[in-house]
Amino acid sequence: MKKKAIVVGATGLIGGFCLQELLKNSQYSQVLVLVRKLLEIKHPKLKQLVVNFDHLEKFSKQLKANDIYCCLGTSRKKSPTPEAYRKIEFEYAFKLARITSQNKADKFLTVSSVGADSSSSYFYLKTKGEVEDVISSLPFKAVHIFRPSFILGERDRRERRPMEAVLEGLLKPLSFLFIGPIRKYKPMAGKIIACGMVNAANNKLQGVHIWEAKMIEDLGT
């Protein structure tokens, strides 16, 4: 039986690649994207649902699928305060996970960060770690947490981050230096991460799995 997927964050770099991979993957009959504004893309398998993430509970009856892809993310420019950042990175992700687990979704796949740790003194890593903890506690058959470091790739023009472009230009030629203990900090293409997520969703692993750079690369290539 073919599966249904939900993608959140499809306008972002990884989420956009996830959507592309899912639409061409024969194991899925439908891909539902949750958006604030309709995407221009058209596809027979694609279904779009315009939602208010502050009131995601109102859409709970429609949030039914086998596999949930959470690619939410923000930037300091778009979320300048800790409260605004946490709303997107923690609250929205937790709402999505809680609602879909109640709706009996099988797998939840989410993008975190290298170094994520709920006991960290660094707000960004602490928030990422707390998201990992709460999602891992929910009754999914499998939870896949992806912890990339710097993500390479051209973002949608609305999502472009000038400083990231500068860092990408500096780091990409040096990727070969990230070996041994620092391998997990190796820059990685967003498409590889997305492919890894789709491949993880289509394997038979159960329980909680954390994927870091080398593992993501092996999974997504």
Per the CB < 8 A criterion, the answer to whether 72 and 14 are in contact is: no
Compute mean pLDDT per 10 residues along the chain, 221 residues long, and list them: 95 95 97 96 97 96 98 74 90 97 98 95 94 97 94 58 46 49 71 96 96 90 82
What pLDDT sits at residue 75?
Answer: 64
Residues forming beta bridges with residue 28, ordered by sequence position: 3
What pLDDT sits at residue 93?
Answer: 97
Is pTM beyond 0.95? Reply is no
Report the distance separating Cα 173 and Cα 106, nearest Å.
39
What pLDDT sits at residue 29?
Answer: 98
What pLDDT sits at residue 70?
Answer: 98
What pLDDT sits at residue 1?
Answer: 85
What pLDDT sits at residue 117?
Answer: 96
What pLDDT sits at residue 151?
Answer: 87
CA 147 to chain centre: 10
Number of structural domains the chain divides into: 1
- CATH at 189: 3.40.50.720
- Take residue 38 and report the two structure tokens written for it: 């309709």
Domain of 84 in residue numbering reads as 3-220
What pLDDT sits at residue 155?
Answer: 45
Per the CB < 8 A criterion, the answer to whether 13 and 190 are in contact is: yes
